[in-house]
Structure 1
Amino acid sequence: MLLAIPDLQGRLKGKWYDAQHFFKHIAHGGAEFCAYVLATDVEMSPVSGFALTSWETGYQDLAVNPVLSTLRTLPWMEGTAVALGDAVHHDGTPIEIAPRQILHQQLTRLSRHGLHPKVGIETEFALYKGTYADAEQAGYQGLRPLTTENLDYALDHDPEADRFLRRLQRALAGAGMPMEAIKTEAGPGQVEVTFPYGEALAACDQHPLFKHAVRTLALRAGLAPTFMAAPETGHANGLHLHVSLWSTAISQLNEPGSHRELSQIGQHAIAGLLAGLPELALFYAPNVNSYKRFTPGSFAPTTFTWGYDNRTCAVRVVGRGEGLHLEIRVPGADANPYLALSAVLAAIDHGLERRLALGPEETGNAYRASGTSVPRTLGQARTTFQNSALAQEAFGAEVVEHYARLAQMELDHDQRLVTDAERQRWLARA
């Protein structure tokens, strides 16, 4: 029996319990984890500078309350079930910087308008032959994608790819997370998985389990998957968020009686996204590598534009009637879905609160459009986020400082590294 919480990067961290012990002592009494699981980088480095916990505070524990409605079996781990938990202080108050709590807060803020979102997540990842250990031993050189051709929408795959895709599909269905569709994509070894529309928190709760399944099944097959935003020069993996807004059982994005016309709520929502998302990039592009995805012709946006069924835009309006919804295309596959969706909802709330006017749609190639550019670097995004009045209002100073500190850790790590690309460019020329 696993009890897990989503960490800052959107991975699952937790403990493995005897099932009898879990249901007798943990299910209703909670457990304790070291608080550093919510105050560290991707390598789990204990560091100073976080208010939640650090060397200065002695790395104390936090409490984790199981959310039993998330309980499910994991077919890719024999005889194993998992429940997600909420991180709280010992007095029972929520830990505000926890990704699941941040999303809770944004859902509450949006409910002021009598609205709740429905969300579908579409994720891309790349598969390489050999294990992570093989890649490390080779110095991450000469990586071999599972497929080398453009197999976008292909229905014929080699036996190795076919076996993996079928096993993944069965495993997710067995965990109560059936996918809507799966297909190979244009990039080398690239796969795209789309999940059905549903409640926002449930959609995000599924995503770390989905990534866990991908990694577990791939490693057993001698494959190495990556959710890096830009795993190779010129290639990009996205995490597209399909979002609609509902009041009771009625969609509020489309004008009633219209197949494609946006309502006032829809217009304000998109205007809020275009105005707000440039300030909140840390939540959907959290790493140095994230910004290498935003290149012309990559199907990742480079400016904040919107358009009907236009994949070169940051916000794509797609569907008809009550199926009309927004596809937000800026998050990369490396994004934490709780945080990426929180940024989207905060920006939508910003547009609704201020009744922002929506400018004209982009009907052509948005890579040639003028307008606000996607931040070019993590450093630029960090400064903007830390100084953003919108971020302070939507998330609070504690959250802003916590994630600004996390971004600084990534910047500090990157600044110290001498890369293969630097040697290739300068070794014989400097």
Structure 2
Amino acid sequence: MPAASSANTAEAHLTLDRLRNLVGSGRIDTVLLAVPDLQGRLKGKRYGARHFLDRIATGGADMCAYVLATDIDMTPADGFALTSWATGYQDLAVTPALTTLRLAPWMPKTVVVLGDAVDHAGAAIEVAPRQMLRRQLARLARHGLDVKAGLECEFVVYQGTPEEAADCGYQGLRSLTMGNLDYALDHPTAADRFFRRLQAALTGAGLPVEAIKTESAPGQVEVTFPYGEAVAACDGHLAFKHAVRAIGGRSGLTPTFMAAPATGMGSGLHLHISLWKDGTNAIADTGNALSTVARHAIAGLVDALPQMAVLYAPNINSYKRYVPDSFAPTTASWGYDNRTCAIRVVGRGEGRHLEIRVPGADANPYLALAAAVAAINHGVDNALTPGPPETGNAYREGGPPLPSTLKQAQVALRNSSIVRDALGPDVVEHYAHLAQLEISHHQHIVTDAERHRWLTRA
């Protein structure tokens, strides 16, 4: 889990003064002001760069509050306390987080900056994903602990543009690569070209990758990033996904971050987390044994993560990734360098850390990491002790099962006193209602799989 180099870090972000120089020289003409939405997408507006500098950078902007209270289709829906038809879908204020200014080399003459959602009195919107993560990190800081995180994301790439994929009803899609290319270094020309474009764009945005590798499923790719500050890691992940989609589309490709884009295929978003205290990694103790705080953290993760699945497995498809013998966990278990477990202890010395394997590629990184930190808080606050590590196959011998459906996860979220204490009842109800929208959407849809199984047999 090596840290990002200082040279790359120095280029990671723009200052307002540097942006003014780039705008003055004609190199930048557009600023994207984006709020991370509930699904982990960038939502916002394109501003002329000079207007952004003159008015928005210090004055902020307004957006309709439904960007934080809607489903994947951006369908206005009642039932959210934040905003609804009943309240007239009012605006919220957006304060640019100027430390997140970065070049977006995958778009001409463009920079992107994230914004924090606040009410018009300046108070943070508590259901905003970025704020939820910050709140959990602040709770952990009461113990003198800080989190560093590195994200490892899998996704699948198909041939053809997104428009072409939609025109054929997402049927008969051809993968960018064929067969099992796990750890392969002889990539097809089209794949190598896509990887090079992506790597160059991310480096130009101050997001140098640690590694890119092809995975075992056709067209599946894994990208890992150096570890760093937790919120910044999530900020970078959203920029990464934006770049993947933009570069993929211009390359005649369709990337997907679905957790299970095809039967028997799963893509994860693994969270590599270390705890630090007074500048020292607090996971490892003398002799590379787990520290007391690390054991509390693991116990909290095992106990609480199953109750927070809505935050890291947010839709119906998410749960089709949790299949035995698939490298996606199915039990609340932990072990040393054991990929059948939900929590994997990995690394040595200062690199010792926890790999949280439950989130899928479709997870909102802020919410997934907020859930993990909330679970760690639970373990540390209550000085919990974990059971023995799994030394064999956790699919067969592991702990309690993880939720297997979104409905199970929703019920667990609503009924958990641990989650309500960690997140607050209003936040719990917001995300439980979001889950219900997803459940209701699918409830009456007849699928191809149902017709295939039952059409001539019923």
| TM category, shorter | over 0.9
- In structure 2, give the amino acid aligned to 1:328: I
User: Residue type of the partner of 1:375?
Assistant: P
Pairing partner for 1:392 from 420, 423, 426: 420
Q: Which residue of 2 aligns with 1:25?
A: 55
Q: Could you tell me which residue of structure 2 aligns to residue 369 of structure 1?
A: 397
Partner of 2:229: 199
TM-score, normalised by the number of residues in structure 1: 0.99
In the alignment, which residue of structure 2 is the partner of 1:332? Answer: 360
> Does 1:314 pair with 2:350?
no
Aligned with 1:12 (options 28, 36, 42): 42
1:58 counterpart = 2:96: no
1:252 to 282, 298, 302: 282
User: Could you tell me how far 1:168 is from its partner in structure 2?
Assistant: 0.3
Alignment of 1:135-214 (within 5 A): 135-214=165-244
How far residue 429 of structure 1 moved from its aligned partner, in angstroms, is 0.4
Q: Tell me how far apart the structure 1 counterparts of residues 316 and 262 of structure 2 sit (CA, whole Å).
A: 14
Amino acid of the structure 2 residue aligned with 1:399: V
| Match of residue 76, structure 1, among 106, 117, 136 | 106
Q: CA deviation at 1:358?
A: 1.4
Identify unmatched segments of 5+ residues in structure 2.
1-30
Q: Which amino acid aligns with 1:167?
A: R
Secondary structure of 1:13's counterpart equals strand
Letter in 1 for 2:95: N
Aligned-partner SS, 1:414: helix
Instruction: Note the C-alpha offset of 1:159.
Output: 0.6
Partners in 2 of 1:371 and 1:358 — Cα distance? Answer: 11
C-alpha distance in 2, partners of 1:302/1:82? Answer: 37
Residue 254 of structure 2 is aligned to residue 224 of structure 1: yes
Instruction: Find 1:93's aligned residue among 111, 123, 131.
Output: 123
Q: TM-score, normalised by structure 2?
A: 0.93
Q: Matched residue of 1:4: which SS?
A: strand
Partner Cα distance (1:135, 1:76) in 2: 22
Q: 2:318 aligns with which of 290, 309, 324?
A: 290
How far does the alpha carbon of each residue in 1:16-75 deviate from its partner, in whole angstroms, 9 at most, with x for none? 011111111110110000001000000000111111111111110000000100001110
How many angstroms apart in 2 are the aligned matches of 1:411 and 1:326?
A: 32
Q: Match of 2:122, SS?
A: coil
Name the SS for the 1:266 alignment partner.
helix
Where does residue 138 of structure 2 map in the other structure? 108
**Is the 2:390–2:398 Cα contact (8 Å) retained in structure 1?**
no
Would you say the 8 A contact 2:341–2:398 is kept in 1? no
Q: How many residues align?
A: 428
Amino acid aligned to 1:16: R
Secondary structure of 2:59's aligned partner: coil
Shift of 1:370: 4.0
Within 2, Cα distance between the matches of 1:369 and 1:43? 40
- Structure-1 residue corresponding to 2:8: none
The more displaced of 120-129 and 369-378 is 369-378
Residue in structure 2 matched with residue 265 of structure 1 by the alignment = 293
Deviations 1:310-333 (A, max 9, x none): 111000000001111000000000
Q: Give the 4+ runs in structure 1 shifted more than 6 A.
A: none
One-letter code of the match for 1:411? Answer: I
In the alignment, structure 1 residue 423 sits paired with structure 2 residue 447? no
Alpha-carbon distance in structure 2 between the residues aligned to 1:112 and 1:290 = 33
Secondary structure, aligned partner of 1:24: helix
Q: Give RMSD over aligned pairs.
A: 0.7
1:117 is displaced (CA, Å) by 0.4
Separation in structure 2 between the aligned mates of residue 40 and residue 143 of structure 1, nearest angstrom: 29
Partner-residue secondary structure (3-state), 1:27: helix
The one-letter code of the counterpart of 1:21 is: H
Q: Distance in 2 between matches of 1:226 and 1:298?
A: 19
1:131 CA drift (Å): 1.5
Once the two structures are aligned, what percentage of the paired residues are identical? Answer: 65
C-alpha offsets along residues 344-371 of structure 1, whole Å, 9 cap, x if unaligned?
0000010001111111111111111142
Are 1:39 and 2:69 an aligned pair? Answer: yes
Residue 58 of structure 2 aligns to a residue in which SS?
Answer: coil
In the alignment, the residues of structure 2 paired with residue 105 and residue 152 of structure 1 have an alpha-carbon distance, to the nearest angstrom, of 38
1:120 equivalent to 2:142? Answer: no
Aligned to 1:280, the other structure's residue is in SS state helix
The alpha-carbon deviation at position 248 of structure 1 amounts to: 2.0
**2 CA distance for matches of 1:93 and 1:390?**
25
**3-state SS in 2 of match to 1:423:** helix
The secondary structure found in structure 2 opposite 1:398 is: helix
Q: Which amino acid aligns with 2:59?
A: G
* SS of match in other structure, 1:274: helix
- SS of 1:393 mapped into structure 2: helix
